[in-house]
Amino acid sequence: MTKKKFLIELAIVVLGVSIAFSLDSIKDSYKLNKQKRIAIQNITQELNKNNESLRQLISKQDSMLSNFNDTADIVNSTFTFHTLSIRTGVYRSIESTGLLGELNSEELIDILNVYEGYSTILELEKYLMQEVYTLSKSDSPEKNLKNAFFWVEQLNNNEKVLLEGCERLITKLEN
């Protein structure tokens, strides 16, 4: 075998290996992009379901607050505490696979902010339930009920802000 023929065969082998690596890289990139699209679709579905729960909760709280504001006799007002039921399974799954880190930074920040908002609402609910329980054991039910309704109103306002932010994120993710 001549030196020239050897170099030609070597160049062909190197070219073939380079093409194989390039194709493999393209395939991996395509696979990752497909996984990201599916993750965003699944997150969007989960956010939509959470938004529905949030809308229902806000509606119940608005009704309760409206009845409270219309009632002159605070002591006989009904205080029914409703809690938020959210889903985080898709988010946790995407987070555990590391796919969350593959999203662009703006999407990632927005998604993290929404799920952090859910956690904050849940913490506020826990705090409010403890406060309502404490208030129910005290000597001044009228004042305490006013305080409880005040905190429900604050929680309700935070939930509305979260809902608006989540709806903007869904619109962004769907485009």
Taking the C-alpha atoms of residue 48 and residue 63, their distance in angstroms, rounded to an integer, is: 23
Residue-wise burial string across 33-49, b where 16 or more C-beta atoms lie within 10 A, e elsewhere: eeebeebbeebbebbee
Predicted confidence (pLDDT) at residue 31 exceeds the cutoff of 90:
yes
Name the band, by pLDDT with cuts 50, 70 and 90, for residue 141.
low
Per the prediction, the chain carries an average pLDDT of 84
Task: Report the alpha-carbon distance of residue 94 to residue 92 in Å, rounded.
Answer: 6
Residue 145 has pLDDT above 90, yes or no: no
Reported as a pLDDT band with limits 50, 70 and 90, residue 163 is very high
Q: What is the pTM of this model?
A: 0.76
The predicted pLDDT at position 6 comes to 87
Four-residue CA torsion sign, 93, 94, 95, 96: positive
pLDDT digits (tens, 9 = 90+) for 32-81: 889 988 998 999 999 999 999 999 999 988 887 777 665 545 555 556 67
Angstrom distance (rounded) from CA 81 to CA 129: 8
